[in-house]
Structure 1
């Protein structure tokens, strides 16, 4: 599953954008969004998603259940 940013909780601090190894995070209308097609949940990069690790507001970067789990290539 990709992650998503809860827009109503995003402060626009931009801490997450440079930490994403897939460049899946971008700014849109003052808040940040995650492109689910690029999000790999940081699998094969980090032990935990970096957007979650650096976000100053708890539960702002959450799993987007509308997308299947990321499957790393063998």
Structure 2
């Protein structure tokens, strides 16, 4: 059994909310508070949210975390 970690990032739009909601629907759990930062190169706000999930498989760096 392994506990997996992902950091979801996106511009501060509904796309970020959909990305997090999709992860939650697949069994990922929120880990900590979301973060916001200004991306001066693209002149937009960016969001980040960490999520974790326990899976039956052993961890491998080759795992496709988004498919778990």
Larger helix percent: 2
Same fold (TM over 0.5): no
- Could you say which TM-score interval applies, normalised by the shorter chain? 0.3 to 0.5
Larger of the two Rg values belongs to structure:
2
Larger strand percent: 2
TM-score by length of 1: 0.33
